[in-house]
Structure 1
């Protein structure tokens, strides 16, 4: 459903009126377009640690216009602040205060990206304090930015270098229009071998096969479209009742459709057999299928509770068990599960749904630990308020409030979820494992 208010405040007269009245003025977000620039203007690199020089070199290698100092009157497409060498809280002041001046020069849709190391890996309390301080500062900056700009961070785990494939892959994603609705988030990356460069930079998933469940409409259909756009061969899965819509999605993406109830005992076997017959190997599995059966817990009945658990988490556990035991699933396979901000912060009337989505997060973290030392990854994406058929049915006032309850003051689009999933499915995301990435515009609930 279109956000009428967003359209109005981005026209001259209503926009001026909203400013005068102090009303929210959400901006049209800068989203990815094939062939478009990575950022809309020069990139300023701040910080004096080794990461600053390393990232400046990397960005120059990407043909970006790099600055080490802000030029008077110049507008910026992005600011990258390297804080990987901080060892005490006092080290944060100079680069972050310089960042404070630089954000005034950000163009609409600009990006702020920090680089730091994990507090839990610090050898002493002062270093841990400084590193954790980065978290609070960047999340706060994200709440202060306007005109569709975002602030996010990269955390280098286990001694990963600033120019490691995972760090550079995360940087490219966070600078690009693909991360339009990712705000106030931190991507924790480990060192991994450099992935093989795709023959076509515009098709980073070329040669890979993906399965998307719940793909007949909404977010699932958009995930299939974006994976196809990035070069993947796509198998779309949904219940037989959605067969006509599912076939239409399969036709749009040049893929194949499989009608299957993912809660059935033979669902995984059918999916794996389908992929083996048509493609040989399965590289990407997206657990998108999910349902809601909302009621206050005091009014909840077993049927509603059990249906949500069966679809949203039990099916994923069963499918993953068979997936990981099958030779059809690639040794470098990617599993991406849809969680939800409801599973992080809870939501009134959604105790069953929140339980299932929190369970997804627990499953992802536990499975990720078993992947240590391998080239497989599993991650979760937790959408916030996304403009779908489901949210269009919400009461008008509730829907409007939900749209404005984020730093970006608007709902996300299904493509925002799909872009994050496509990134996690790619080679450069190989250093990201066991993470939960919120695609919520920094919704003001949860962490």
Structure 2
């Protein structure tokens, strides 16, 4: 779906009118294209910790132009702010205000990334205050950035270094165009697990992946992105979508499995298909989902039970089958599609929001089960994404949904797909039980 407003306010009369009236002028986002540079322009690494020095050295090995001190009026591709050693709120001022002096030099589509430690009950009150303060600082800064620039953070749990495989994978993701619609968010790296990608352009090479709900929209975009990144695909959707499913499967050179995932034997059917054709399964992407919107006062059994059944109960049943199977044992990855509706709620979507919040709870509770096999499970929570479904929303409501985030536009299905591909990679193995929002940083709600 095309955002005609965004096109209008960037050209000629439309641009002039938008400026005079103070209307939103959403910037064109820097999205990933194979073969493009990771980041354009120098990367400024701020901070005096050992992790800051180590990150600068690592970025140099990526053939990036790294600065440890700002050069006045030099356009920057990114600013990395190492705040991993702050011990009290007073420790925040110097590194943050030093970085602030370079914000005007951040290029369009630039990136700001913080590296910090989580606040915990084991910390002193002063250390916990400082570490939690980074959360409010980064989310506020992300709302101030312009020109399609984004701000995100990496949180390192105890024992995890900034140069661990998953920490660097998160940094590469945030710096790249793959994270174009991820803004004001944190990724927690909980362990030193993970292996650097042998080929950063095809990090899923040799992997066998299943995508449910793959016939159209976000599911089809996920299939195309995983295929581009080297995975072999098994695509699942309901028999009614058989023709579209076959078309997508042919496009990505995968196989199609027509299946209602709410069936009791859906997990066994998926495993059997993967085992017969490939001998194993490495990645499971739960994308299939439905909406049956009604105010709760008008909700009936059919609308409630169908949404819960497809959106969360089916995932639980399939995951149970996967975890019991010998064919899903070698560093298995599960990525589920949740929704920001499950975080902030949405009028008329009590059933949908309950199901998507349920996905997040499932992911957190399942993380130890996957870790026992060297695997991981995470969720992606999209906000307003330009799809056939959002195209049917009334015009005024659709425009509000598009503009009510820091980037002032809707995301694309590829934005969700890029995030899923990152979380499905072995380099991201140390990220487990997380929910990462792909919403352009919603301006209201949680």
Q: What is the TM-score when the length of structure 2 is the normalising length?
A: 0.98
Aligned to 2:374: 375
- Secondary structure in 2 matching 1:110: strand
Conserved in 1, the CA contact under 8 Å of 2:197 and 2:427? no
- CA drift of 1:372 comes to 4.0
Q: Which residue of 1 aligns with 2:168?
A: 168
Query: Which residue does the alignment assign to 1:119?
Result: 119
- Residue range with higher mean Cα deviation, 115-124 or 127-136: 115-124
- Tell me how far 1:190 sits from its aligned partner: 2.5
- Structure 1 residue 25, shift from structure 2 partner: 0.8
Give the aligned partner of residue 300 of structure 2. 301
The CA deviation at 1:16 is 2.8
Q: Give the aligned partner of residue 265 of structure 1.
A: 264
- Does the alignment pair 1:140 with 2:122? no
Alignment of 1:174-323 (within 5 A): 174-195=174-195, 197-198=197-198, 200-323=199-322
Query: What is the rounded CA distance, in whole Å, between the counterparts of 1:145 and 1:118 in structure 2?
Result: 24
Give the superposition deviation at 1:194: 4.5
3-state SS of paired residue (1:182): coil
Q: Give the CA deviation at 1:349.
A: 0.2
TM superposition shift of 1:148: 0.4
Counterpart of 2:343 in structure 1 is 344
Q: Which runs of 4+ in 1 moved over 6 A?
A: none
Task: Give the direction of change, closer, same or farther, for the CA distance of 1:42–1:122 in structure 2 (3 Å limit).
Answer: farther
Indicate conservation of the 8 Å contact 2:236/2:259, yes or no: yes
Cα offsets for 1:215-240 (capped at 9, x unmatched): 00000000000000000000000000
Q: Is the 8 A contact 1:110 1:148 kept in 2?
A: yes
Give the secondary structure class of the aligned counterpart of 1:329: coil
Q: Is the 8 A contact 1:283 1:332 kept in 2?
A: yes
* 1:367-389, Cα deviation, whole Å (9 max, x unpaired): 01333454110000000000000
Q: State the Cα RMSD in Å.
A: 1.1
Q: Distance in 2 between matches of 1:399 and 1:194?
A: 40
1:253 and 1:96 mapped to 2: Cα distance? 45
Residues 95 and 216 of structure 1, relative CA distance in 2, 3 Å threshold: same
Asked if the contact 1:341/1:446 (under 8 Å) is kept, the reply is no
Separation of aligned partners in 2, 1:144 and 1:341: 21
C-alpha distance after superposition, 1:159-188 (max 9, x if no partner): 201111111010000000000000000000
Gaps in structure 1 of 5+ consecutive residues = none
Name the residue aligned to 2:91. 91
Please name the residue that 1:103 is paired with: 103
CA distance, structure 1, for counterparts of residue 192 and residue 162 of structure 2: 12
User: Could you tell me whether the CA contact under 8 Å between 1:209 and 1:281 is conserved in 2?
Assistant: yes
Deviation for aligned residue 1:260: 0.2
Distance 2:53 2:39 in 1: 19
CA distance in structure 1 between the partners assigned to 2:39 and 2:12 by the alignment: 26
Indicate conservation of the 8 Å contact 1:190/1:431, yes or no: yes
Task: State the SS of the aligned residue for 1:332.
Answer: coil
Tell me which residue corresponds to 1:66: 66
Alpha-carbon distance in structure 1 between the residues aligned to 2:407 and 2:23 = 13
Change (3 A) 1:256 1:341: same
Query: Is the CA contact 2:183–2:440 (under 8 Å) kept in the aligned structure 1?
Result: yes
| Separation in structure 2 between the aligned mates of residue 237 and residue 220 of structure 1, nearest angstrom | 9
Is 1:150 aligned with 2:150? yes
**Mapped partners of 1:121, 1:33: distance in 2:** 43
Instruction: Give the drift of 1:19.
Output: 1.6
Map of 1:11 onto structure 2: 11
Residues 126-162 of structure 1 deviation map (CA, whole Å, 9 limit, x = unaligned): 1111100111000000000011000000000122011
Q: For the residues of structure 1 that align with 2:141 and 2:392, how far apart are their CA atoms? A: 33
Note the C-alpha offset of 1:21.
Answer: 1.2
Deviation at 1:60, TM superposition (A): 0.3
Question: CA 1:277/1:163 → structure 2, altered by over 3 Å: closer, same or farther?
Answer: same
- 1:40 deviation in Å? 1.4
SS in 1 for 2:86: coil
Give 3-state SS (helix, strand or coil) of 2:20's partner: helix
TM-score normalised over the length of structure 1: 0.98
